[in-house]
Amino acid sequence: MKLTAAARRLAKAELESLTNESREIKKMYPDPPKNVDYENNNPKSKLLAALLGAGNADVGTATGQKAVGAAATATRQATCTAGEKTTARPASALAMLACVCQSSGTAVTNFICTEKAKDSNAWTGNAYPHDTGLQHIGKSCPKPTAAAITRENLEAALTNLLALIHTDGTHEYLGAYVQTGCDGTSPNGICVQFPDLATSAPEVATRYTWLATVAEIIQNLKILENNQAKAEYVNNQIKDKKHRALAALRRSKAIAGAIQVPTPQTAQKPKIGVNTRCEAHNKSKAACLGAKCKWGGQKDDDGPCSPSEEQAAEEEKETAGEAVTGTATEKCKGKLEPECTKAPEFKWENSACKDSIFLVNKKFALSMDAAFLSLVVFRYFIILAF
């Protein structure tokens, strides 16, 4: 948008104010937390590791060692006990599912979780479940839908799972617990143990198992959602400032055009009569004749110098033309009231005789000036309004 200097001056203050407001609003734009970078680290990979175990990319190829996060160095009961440790543990959802569903018996005739999870491969005393049995249990889970996983989905799943955990007064368990730990036998329990969860370690489930990853993803998604709302607010405010700035420029351009100062007119020189022009050369015959006047003197330096017949006729013609174009002359000037009121073209006003034609023309000119001024003011307020 091209602006004149006057328009730029009119817009300057408002534009500076809008610029300062935009700078302050921009400071409200949220900075993403350093631990939240889902463009380069998609939560899908973290979620997959939490569900299947680090290194397991698919249920059909999952191994027990990767599911529990360590090599076989202890018993099943130790592996199915959660806690802050680096040895075999319920490090993934698949490992936790094996602790709850896979029997330790060698001759399995009944199913524990679901009929589809029933498997002939027992998890005996080894630190991690049998690969084939683990894969069979994983495949028994419902097929995922095509819809994207949302924060609400994860929150609901976590809440539902935590609601299944029950206590014996000291420890808490997920699955079938009878007594003396989760070793996979029917006298004791096929379960996951959370030591001291009911008393001194309430965070053991969501801090030292794969559920910690899910809780972290949920928290990060909340941060991103809040940041998105803040960013949208800031962007909308800046867009509003932009529209207001453009409106200010258009308004200033229109106002500058409406109140433009007209170009000064060259002052007209006073008209000098032909008599005056000729009389100026009374002392020079040559100058008199050069001015096309008539020389009447006997000597070259003693006039008079007077207008020629042609000059006199031309001046008379010009004077008549000025009268026709409306040069105001008051013919009744000096007349007394009785004489003034007898003539229709005269009018007695303010103790003086006035030419009524002159008065009409003068009043008409004043009314036109007032009308023009009103039009300019009206246009000015219309411009301000829009």
**pLDDT digits 0-9 by tens, 87-113:** 888 889 999 998 888 877 654 445 567
Q: Is residue 198 predicted with pLDDT exceeding 70?
A: no
pLDDT, residue 370, reads 39
Provide the pLDDT for residue 40. Answer: 52
Mean pLDDT of 355-381: 40
Tens of pLDDT, residue by residue over 308-327, are: 878 777 877 776 655 444 44
Which pLDDT value is given to residue 363? 42
Task: Tell me the Ramachandran region of residue 329: left when phi exceeds 0, alpha when psi lies from -120 to 50, beta otherwise.
Answer: beta
> How many whole angstroms separate alpha carbon 214 and alpha carbon 105?
32
What's the whole-number mean pLDDT along residues 282-289?
81
146 pLDDT exceeds 50? yes
- Band the pLDDT of 386: cuts 50, 70, 90: very low
| pLDDT above 60: residue 383 | no
SS (H, E, C) the chain: CCCCHHHHHHHHHHHHHHHHHHHHHHCCCCCCCCCCCCCCCCHHHHHHHHHHCCCCCCHHHCCHHHHHCCCCCCCHHHHCECCCCCCCCCCCHHHHHHHHHCCCCCCCCCCCCCHHHCCCCCCCCCCCCCHHHHHHHHHCCCCCCCCCCCHHHHHHHHHHHHHCCEECCCCEEEEEECCCCCCCCCCCEEEEEECCCCCCCCCHHHHCCCHHHHHHHHHHHHHHHHHHHHHHHHHHHHHHHHHHHHHHHHHHHHHHHHCCCCCCCCCCCCCCCHHHHHHCCCCCHHHHHHCCCEECCCECCECCEECCHHHHHHHHHHHHHHHHCCCCCCCCCCCCHHHHHHCCCEEEECCEEEEHHHHHHHHHHHHHHHHHHHHHHHHHHHHHHC
Task: Check residues 214 and 118 and name the one with the higher pLDDT.
Answer: 214
Q: Can you give the pLDDT at residue 251?
A: 86
Give the pLDDT of residue 381: 35
pLDDT of residue 378: 34
Q: Is 326 left (phi over 0), alpha (psi -120 to 50) or beta?
A: left
Residue 72 main-chain phi, psi, to 5 deg: -75, 100
pLDDT of the residue at 267: 53
Q: Is it the case that residue 361 has pLDDT exceeding 50?
A: no
| pLDDT > 50? residue 17 | yes
Q: What is the mean pLDDT of residues 260-268?
A: 54
Instruction: Give the model's pLDDT for residue 111.
Output: 57
Residue 28 identity:
M
Give the rounded percent of residues in the chain with a pLDDT score beyond 90. Answer: 4
Question: Do the beta carbons of residue 383 and residue 258 sit within 8 Å?
Answer: yes
In 10 A of CB 205, how many CB atoms? 22
Q: Count other C-beta atoms under 10 Å from residue 163's C-beta.
A: 8
Q: Tell me how far apart the alpha carbons of residues 291 and 295 are, in angstroms, rounded to a whole number.
A: 10
pLDDT at 200 (0 to 100): 63
Q: Is 156 a residue whose pLDDT tops 90?
A: yes
Query: 233 vs 42, 62, 175, 225, CA distance in Å?
Result: 26, 46, 47, 13
- Most confident stretch, 147-161, 174-188, 196-210: 147-161
pLDDT at 65 over 50: yes
Q: Does residue 245 have a pLDDT over 50?
A: yes
With cut-offs at 50, 70 and 90, classify the pLDDT of residue 152: very high
Task: Determine which of 17-26, 172-181, 302-311, 352-361 has the lowest per-residue pLDDT on average.
Answer: 352-361
Task: Average the pLDDT over each of 47-61, 93-107, 152-166 and give the range with the smallest value.
Answer: 93-107
What's the whole-number mean pLDDT along residues 239-262?
82
The predicted model scores a pTM of: 0.56
Q: What's the pLDDT score for residue 329?
A: 45
Q: 185, 184, 68: which is closest to 128 by C-alpha?
A: 68
Q: How far is CA 322 from the centre of its chain?
A: 66
Work out the burial of residue 190: count CB atoms within 10 Å of its CB; fewer than 13 is exposed, 13-18 middle, 19 or more buried.
buried
Interacting residues of 104 by C-beta distance below 8 A, sequence separation 6+: 76, 122, 123, 124, 125, 183, 184, 185, 190
Q: What is the pLDDT of residue 380?
A: 35
Would you list the domain boundaries of the chain?
Answer: 54-209, 274-321, 332-386
Q: Which residue has the higher pLDDT, 129 or 319?
A: 129
pLDDT at 377 over 70: no
Answer yes or no: is pLDDT of 182 > 50: yes
Across residues 74-82, what is the average pLDDT? 87
Tokens of 98: 């094996």
